[in-house]
Amino acid sequence: MNRQRPRLKNGVDLQLQSAFQDGNWPVVIRLAEKRAKTLNDQYYEAVKICAESQLDDPAAKFAAVAAVWKFVKEGSTVKDVDAIDLLEWATTNLLDQDDFSETLGPLRVRAVKAAPKDKFAATRCLESCLLHWDLASAQQIAAIIDRSFPQDRDMLFWNIVVTHLLSMSPQTSPDKRKLYGTLAQKQIERAAQVTEQAEANSSEAAPKPTPRRVKTEEETLLLYDIVETHGSPQDFLKLISSPVFSPAAQFRQGRKEVALRAIAKFRRDGDWLAVFNLCKDCLSDCDADGQLTLLASDIAVWRHIIDAAGHIKDADPESTSVVQKLLAKLLSSEHMRPMYRRNILLARVLAVFNLGPSDERDVLDGRPSSLRLQELIRYIDDQYTSPACFSDVKTLMESLDANGLKYLAFDHLPRLAEGDEKNFKTAFTRLLALKTQYLLLTHRKTKSRGQNQQLQCTVCEATVKTALCNTCLSQLSEASVVFYDSITKSDGDNSKIKTEVLPELAILIAFCSLNLAFDGPAQTGQPLESKAARHLIRAALLLDDQLAQNPGHSQLSLLLTQLHIRLGSAYRAADVWDVIGVKRTIIDSLGPVFYDRLSTIAPALLSSYDSWGSHLMDLLQSHYQISLKLRMPRRLVDAFESGSYSSVMGIPKYIDRLRMSCTRAMSLAEARRIERLLGQTSHELDSDPRFNEVDDESHLIQTIDYGSFPSWNSSTIRPMHLNLRLGSAPSNRRCHLSLLSEAFHELLAYKPPASYKTSAGSLEYDHIYVIETLARLSNSFPKFLTGPDDEMTRSELLYFEAVSLICTLMSLCVDFDRSSDSSDALTHIISALKLVLANQRNQILHEKESSIDRTITMLGSMHNITMLRDTTAAIKLGSQWILNNNEREKARDRSGKSGLPKDLASQFKDLQTTAEAGIKEGQGWISELKTEVMSRDFEPKLKRFLLDGEHEIRSILSMDSLPALIDSWQSNVKGWQQVKWA
């Protein structure tokens, strides 16, 4: 963090100003010393100290840090805030962020106490404390400013909000939290009371009310936040009954947020009657023309009232009819906007599904019989041309019984879609029908046990052996292909069909193929078998063809990125990813789609020695460098100054979460692995905030935005985007284990620069450092190794277990005591490591004979090969260190009583040999891959592999995208030649 050099304060002579700006530090020191003596001004002392800290001399560098600590310990007050600003600048990067609350924070408090009426200086001090997130100092300053300027209502609320923040902060002890909470509550309740009194007296000739009252929506939201957090249920009840601050009164003023906040609280408390009454008030609210207001037409409010009515209908049978009457009244209003009409129509369907009878059969004698199906059909008939229709009704369709959903998918919607398919509306409706059929086929309720106890598909009535009916999926695929073929071959030039129907149709066909690939237990993280790979490649080629027609289409692009990564075709994935331009703010939520495990598939792709690789990596990492530069962003100060108190509360929460984001940790783990695999130099892990801000107690938060992926599978099976992932998304456990493993590699692979002369003393310190770090790692690994199996791939788990075991082994060897019999324990661990290696090798190849199937499987197994490589590297490094340490012990104590027994030492050598055999095998596979993929025969073999047998999509698969796929694999295999194996 290199902060810009500040300007010296006004009044400083030009000579000193220019020397400071030019960075001419010896001159600054001399001049400042002179001025300090002549003028007896503390500011010049600070200038001198800060200039000294800019010198290259390591001792002088800490002059500002030493001065700050001295001021604090001696209880001195630096009255000049400009001087404190200078000290703060000079100690940046040298003073730990956590030390601010013990150094500069208290210095700023003292400065404000010394001049409480200097508002400008005091607010600058407050800002600094907030940006460094020193809430204790900030609270003291805010309280002083509030006392000094009682007529300034902003200062009152600054004081309240900082006190509230402090009361919830881990920086505060539990007993003080309670105290600050009560303080914040009393202060804001007093301000609210003043407002209520002023409102009550508004008609009388009352004196002008004090400005210290709650007025704005932001202040009201703060009032709710504080009372909710610190108040008793009675306090909250009092607030919602207030004639001024009740949610309904606020809603009538156009303040929807307060109402939504109250509804959320009622829901959490299970107070459904309160939810119902509040929503009823909101929904009854009309504007001057009797039209439904912007706020009241919100579907969220409708959902709340319907949910609430469902909960209270037994106790209050009238509630259902109240909802129905409200709906009927609103539907009869004239000139309703299409969006509001859609919301209310949808609310009517929701009401029937939630409040109507639920035990009816949806279809009788081939006709819709239940009220809910009839109501749903009514909605679909009205809205089927809306692009949102499918997602609007998907959950409702899933609630129908199998026959009801089947009726919609195979009877009602196909009837609506009759007509000329060159017409956009018809084509769009036909697509809706096909998507609904897909939803039905992926729903578990379409499988039931027949009379012979065998699983039967209720759609085609055939016996099925798997979770999905392959016959039905193939038929759906065929029908979609025929439709696709017919549209693409038609003469018409309907651009809307090309942009809005064809991409989704291609995705639907690809999904059918992918379901045939993934049928059976989830295979994520496992190498693809050739049958599955064939389906995946066909799907990828089809979608690539479609992407050529719809460049930048986000759904196609995201699916293709996943598919290519799964197939080991990472270079093509990078091409697709680059076009959709994921960068800056959205990288945190979308980055894992592309970057997660990429280093294990194509390490050379993101090499920092390559401009494109470096660009891609920079897109991922720069977001965190820019957004988390300071402990808190400057925008927090903007929020204070604008009186946006909900933003004051929201920004720190978000920044804390971003700091603990799994994507942030992943960005470091991926970068480090690439550097390791390619033998590139790295900066120290400990100096990276992505590493040093995370400890074992940190909970890393997974944030992935799957919103742009097509969500067409029924909720009873895994969404397609999860099936396509190479293993699960970055999780708290996996990220911790990845960082710990990188720390292990750094520790053991470190070699001091050649110019560095080691002394015996420094070697001893280095040795102690290694032993202590190993002990810490041994202690940390087990905390994250246990947990659900599906949080990482099998290969990853084996690798992490291996690193954990080797850490333990090394620690045990350091403390090895010949007098106690610990050899057995070590032997067990060595055997376990050999077993891990054997299992790791088993993860890779199923096809024994050289064939196109074997090549394709291997291309999709790069992740497992990397995990084998990393496991062998860890074992090799660890066992080498143990053997070196053993030699060192033997040299230290020549009595023969120290060090490992000979048979144990030979077991370590044997372990090393096993690891080396693994390395050779891995190198052999890469060499074999290179021969296969670069050969002239590869393309014809691949074509035959793909076109083998009859399949539904043959007629529309052009093979135009095959060269790009082959090129991508070849680039990857070439890139793998840069990987260092030992």
Tell me if 218 sits within 8 A of 650, measured CB to CB: no
- Using CB atoms within 10 Å of the CB of residue 420, give its burial: 0 to 12 exposed, 13 to 18 middle, 19+ buried: exposed
Among 552, 752, 924, 940, binds another protein (CB under 8 A): 552
In terms of CB distance, is 627 or 793 closer to another protein? Answer: 627
Binding residue (CB under 8 A) for another protein from 58, 174, 243, 338: 338
Beta-carbon contacts of residue 350 (< 8 Å; ≥ 6 apart) = 302, 303, 306, 396
By the rule CB under 8 A, 342 interacts with another protein: yes
Give least dist CB 280 to another protein, A: 18
If one counts every other C-beta atom within 10 angstroms of the C-beta of residue 18, the result is 13
| Tokens linked to 428 | 């769009």
Least distance in angstroms from the C-beta of 270 to another protein: 22
* Pick 106 or 652: Cβ nearer another protein: 652
One-character DSSP codes across 53-89: TTSS-HHHHTHHHHHHHHHHHHT-----HHHHHHHHH
Q: Which of residues 562-601 bind another protein (CB under 8 A)?
A: 580-586, 588-590
SS3 of the chain: helix, strand, coil, percent, to 5 = 70, 0, 30
| 197-226 residues near another protein, rule: CB under 8 A | 217-218
Pick the binder of another protein from 609, 654, 750, 769 (CB under 8 A).
654
Contacts 24+ apart (CB under 8 A), 934-941: 934/970, 934/973, 938/855, 938/966, 939/963, 939/966, 941/852, 941/855
For 895, what's the count of Cα atoms within 13 Å in the CB-facing half-sphere? 4
Binding mask 842-861 for another protein (x = CB under 8 A): --------------------
| Smallest separation (angstroms) from another protein to the CB of 116 | 27
Closer residue to another protein, CB minimum distance, 339 or 548: 339
Amino acid at 703: T
Q: Is 650 a residue that touches another protein (CB under 8 A)?
A: yes
Beta-carbon contacts of residue 183 (< 8 Å; ≥ 6 apart): 163, 167
Instruction: State the virtual CA torsion across 318, 321, 322, 327 in degrees, nearest 10.
Output: 170
The piece of 531-539, 650-658, 823-831, 941-949 that touches another protein (CB under 8 A) is 650-658
Length of the chain (residues): 982
**Cβ proximity of 563 and 532 under 8 Å:** no
Min dist CB 627 to another protein, Å, is 4
Count of residues touching another protein (by CB under 8 A)? 60
| Residue from 354, 264, 360, 251 nearest 312 by CA | 354
The three-class DSSP label of residue 463 is strand
Nearer to another protein among residue 474 and residue 711 (C-beta): 711
Contact 630, 88 (CB under 8 A): no
Closest distance to another protein from the beta carbon of 257 (Å) = 6
298 sits near another protein (criterion: CB under 8 A): yes
560/813 with CB nearer another protein: 560
Burial class (CB in 10 A: 0-12, 13-18, 19+), 291: middle
548 counts as binding another protein under rule CB under 8 A:
no
Tell me how far, at minimum, the Cβ of 630 lies from another protein, in Å. 11
Nearer to another protein, 721 or 736 (CB): 721
Q: Which is nearer to another protein, 293 or 923 (CB)?
A: 293
Of 217 and 742, which CB lies nearer to another protein in the complex structure?
Answer: 217
- Considering the rule CB under 8 A, would residue 638 count as an interface residue with another protein? yes
- Does 626 participate in binding another protein (rule CB under 8 A)? yes
What is the C-alpha end-to-end distance of the chain, expressed in Å? 35
- Among the residues of 332-412, which ranges form H helices? 338-355, 371-383, 389-399, 402-407
For another protein, the closer of residues 429 and 885 by Cβ is 429
929-949 as b/e: b if 16+ CB within 10 A? beebbeeeebeebbeebbeee
The smaller minimum CB distance to another protein, of residues 102 and 228, is found at 228
Point out which span in 515-523, 646-654, 772-780, 936-944 binds another protein (CB under 8 A): 646-654
> In sequence order, which ranges of 168-271 are alpha helices (DSSP H)?
174-200, 217-230, 233-240, 247-252, 256-269
Q: Interface with another protein includes 288 (CB under 8 A)?
A: no
* Binding status of residue 432 toward another protein by CB under 8 A: no
Helix 424-441 × helix 389-399 angle, to 10°: 30
Q: Answer whether 454's CB lies under 8 Å from 470's CB.
A: no
- Burial of residue 898 (CB within 10 Å: 0-12, 13-18, 19+) is middle
Q: CB–CB of 283/322 below 8 Å?
A: no
- Give the tokens for residue 545: 């063809």
Give 376 or 810: the residue with its C-beta nearer to another protein.
376
Q: Does 928 bind another protein (CB under 8 A)?
A: no
Q: Name the residue nearer to another protein (CB basis): 90 or 582.
A: 582
Given 106, 633, 727, 730, the residue binding another protein (CB under 8 A): 633
| Closer residue to another protein (CB): 639 or 747 | 639
- The residue among 345 and 953 lying less far from another protein, judged by its C-beta, is 345
Instruction: Give the shortest CB-294-to-another protein separation in angstroms.
Output: 6
Mark the segment that binds another protein (CB under 8 A) among 130-138, 238-246, 334-342, 862-870. 334-342
Query: Of residues 246-265, which lie at the interface with another protein (CB under 8 A)?
Result: 254, 256-257, 260
Q: Which of 598, 599, 581 is nearest to 590 (CA)?
A: 581
Binding flag, residue 557, another protein (CB under 8 A): yes
Considering only the stretches 191-199, 335-343, 509-517, 859-867, report the one whose residues sit in contact with another protein under the rule CB under 8 A: 335-343
Distance CA 936, CA 924 (A): 20
Could you tell me which stretch among 48-56, 274-282, 333-341, 569-577 binds another protein (CB under 8 A)? 333-341
- 699-738: which residues touch another protein (CB under 8 A)? 703, 705, 707-708, 711
Query: In the bound complex, what is the minimum distance in angstroms from residue 338's beta carbon to another protein?
Result: 5
Check: CB of residue 664 under 8 Å from CB of residue 590: no
Candidate ranges 79-87, 148-156, 637-645, 967-975; the one touching another protein (CB under 8 A)? 637-645
The reply to whether 980 sits near another protein by the rule CB under 8 A is no
Contact between 800 and 867 under an 8 Å Cβ cutoff? The reply is no
Per CB under 8 A, does 294 bind another protein?
yes
For another protein, give the closer residue by CB, 470 or 715.
715
* Those residues with Cβ within 8 angstroms of residue 126's Cβ, 6 or more apart along the chain or in another chain: 112, 138, 141, 142, 145, 158, 162, 640
Nearer to another protein, 307 or 610 (CB): 307
Distance of closest approach, residue 304 Cβ to another protein, in angstroms: 10
Any contact of residue 331 with another protein (CB under 8 A)? Answer: no
Residues 643 and 211 sit within 8 Å (Cβ to Cβ): no
Among 232, 642, 716, 884, binds another protein (CB under 8 A): 642
CB of 767 to another protein, least distance (A): 44
Q: Kindly state the DSSP code that residue 523 receives in the 8-state scheme.
A: -
Among 651, 743, 802, 926, binds another protein (CB under 8 A): 651
3-state secondary structure of 211: coil
Where in 373-412 is the site for another protein (CB under 8 A)?
386-388, 391-392, 395
Residues that bind another protein (CB under 8 A): 217-218, 254, 256-257, 260, 294, 298-300, 337-339, 342-343, 346, 386-388, 391-392, 395, 552, 554, 557-558, 580-586, 588-590, 623, 626-627, 633-636, 638-639, 642, 644, 646-647, 650-651, 653-654, 657-658, 703, 705, 707-708, 711
